[in-house]
Structure 1
Amino acid sequence: MDRELALAVELADWAAERIRRPRATEDTSDVREKAGPADIVTATDEAVESYVRDVLRREFPEYGIEGEEYGVHEGAAGAPHWVIDPVDGTTNYAHGIGWCSFSLGLATPEGRPLLGVVADPWRGEIFSAVKGGGARLDGRPIRAAAHDTLTGHAFLTEWAAHAHWPGLDDLLRELAARHCTVRVMGSTALSLVQVAAGRATAAAIGEFHPVDALPPLLIATEAGAVAIPELPPYDTPLLLVAPGAAEEATALWKRTVLR
């Protein structure tokens, strides 16, 4: 997995530089809707994914690819497949808000994570992990927070595009009662890896999509975070939490989201 990781980090560094290039936010000619006004794509999304796919197909021609913008390329039977989100947080990016990410992972044919890389272009950070090898931030080992409660700490979440997902409102009320500071940031991958870095005690999403959530899921669990469930089915909720707060968060999750 050393070769795959080295290439993934190299591509993440290239993508971060491409995303950082100045663009005129008042010029909407490179932005178009996909499923609706809250689901958009930019020329940068397409350029980044196209380049990354070309490199991956050249270097690992037997591997499959699943990307946010260009769908699925089938690999050889039994081969792993890459998952790519070229700009996770496109709405933020298109509006000049510096919170988006590049996400790249490798998974087994059954969808279990083998490798994950998430780049934060604006902080110049690259998170990475290989299954069983721990999590790293810019090459340095990282661990989930040592907190034993949600109270007083950060909890990151994301809307399902423009909408609240089932159970979110109840969850937010419970967290507010605990004086837990909730943040809705706008990039699934970047929010989830904050748990790996120990900056957020927990993070949750209502709809698990491998292209943007599988890489940070691996990074966070390799940093010691607890994932509930361990690997969600597509379009179902995911909670990541520091191990010391897992019992409290799990009970809250079951009472609000999973009821």
Structure 2
Amino acid sequence: MISISSNLNLMIKAAEKASKSVIRDFGELEKLQVSKKGPRDFVTKTDKHVENILIEELSKAKKNFSFLSEEVGKIENKDKENIWIIDPIDGTTNFLHGIPHFAICIALKSQKEIISGLVFDPIKDEMFYAEKNKGAYLNNQRLRVSNKNLIDECLFSSNHEGVKFSNLNMRYSGCAALDLAYVASGRFDGYFHNKINIWDVAAGALLVKEAGGIVNDLDKFNTNNIDIRASSGAINDKMLENLKNF
């Protein structure tokens, strides 16, 4: 068993607890697809519920840490140097349509730097996590980015705009956090996206770096307007060359 910090341990426990209601609600969705009220209100409720569980669990052990979250925005507590960045469900549209590809994301920013990150896919039971200078893992297995260096053999991911723009081999999965986790694990070779939010990419960017990949400097951007470029070192220059006008 690898040794992890108490903070990461706390993040894992919080994500596991929150995932129980996500899995239960996901199972309920099929019944809702046919109801008049429709699933959209339901998903918003799930999102808020998961966020509440995460905030509650993380606050138990770290009462003073601040929060930045997709649903509630900023919560400033006594400790403003340590900030939990959370996205209760990244990939809500997938969730809404009963597609089992979404994730719970938690990152810890300390002294302006992401030091711990977690992306949990509750349906596939895949827990991706990383700590600064300690490597990236999937369910206790060490992760490495891919080492393919022929761009035609590589597979990249982006959002709708990126897929339209690019002549690379592309996927559009609808879940940025898992896209980055997949780059870290070598399933994808690179990921790029313009104007994305910090809570979608904070944990995943650390995963990619700790798995030996390259991520551009996200601090240059506003928290809700990030242009991210992440890939293995082997293909980074070629990917960026292809994205010059993106």
Same fold (TM over 0.5): yes
Contact 2:66 2:80 (8 Å CA) reproduced: no
- The residue aligned with 2:29 is 24
Q: Please report how far the alpha carbon of residue 2 of structure 1 lies from its aligned counterpart in structure 2 after TM superposition.
A: 1.0
Give the Cα–Cα distance (whole angstroms) in 2 for the partners of residues 17 and 41 of structure 1.
Answer: 15
Give the Cα–Cα distance (whole angstroms) in 2 for the partners of residues 24 and 223 of structure 1.
Answer: 35
Which segments of structure 1 move beyond 6 Å, counting only runs of 4 or more? none
Give the Cα–Cα distance (whole angstroms) in 2 for the partners of residues 142 and 52 of structure 1.
Answer: 26
Moved more, 125-134 or 205-214: 205-214
The AA in structure 2 aligned to 1:239 is: R
Q: Please report how far the alpha carbon of residue 230 of structure 1 lies from its aligned counterpart in structure 2 after TM superposition.
A: 5.3
**Alignment partner of 1:199: what SS?**
coil
Q: 1:30 to 1:97 in 2, by over 3 A?
A: closer
Contact 1:13 1:126 (8 Å CA) reproduced: no
Give the Cα–Cα distance (whole angstroms) in 1 for the partners of residues 148 and 19 of structure 2.
Answer: 31
- The residue aligned with 2:228 is 238
Unaligned runs of 5+ in 1: 33-39
- The residue aligned with 2:189 is 201
- The residue aligned with 1:3 is 6
Aligned length: 235
- The residue aligned with 1:256 is 245
Give the Cα–Cα distance (whole angstroms) in 1 for the partners of residues 198 and 17 of structure 2.
Answer: 22
**Alignment partner of 1:115: what SS?**
strand
Write out aligned runs for 1:63-142 (5 A): 63-110=65-112, 112-142=113-143
Which of 1 and 2 has higher RCO (CA within 8 Å, sep 6+)?
Answer: 1
Contact 2:66 2:79 (8 Å CA) reproduced: no
| Percentage of matched positions with identical amino acids | 24
The AA in structure 2 aligned to 1:145 is: S
- The residue aligned with 2:176 is 188
TM (normalized to structure 1)?
Answer: 0.84
TM (normalized to structure 2)?
Answer: 0.89
The superposition leaves residues 84-107 of structure 1 with CA deviations (integer Å, 9 ceiling, x where unpaired) of 101101111011011111000100
Contact 1:127 1:136 (8 Å CA) reproduced: yes
The AA in structure 1 aligned to 2:217 is: P
Give the Cα–Cα distance (whole angstroms) in 2 for the partners of residues 17 and 139 of structure 1.
Answer: 21
Backbone CA RMSD of aligned residues: 1.9
Higher helix share: 2
Give the Cα–Cα distance (whole angstroms) in 1 for the partners of residues 29 and 78 of structure 2.
Answer: 42
- The residue aligned with 1:12 is 15
Contact 1:192 1:204 (8 Å CA) reproduced: no
Q: Please report how far the alpha carbon of residue 183 of structure 1 lies from its aligned counterpart in structure 2 after TM superposition.
A: 0.6
The AA in structure 2 aligned to 1:157 is: S
Moved more, 96-105 or 205-214: 205-214
The AA in structure 2 aligned to 1:123 is: K
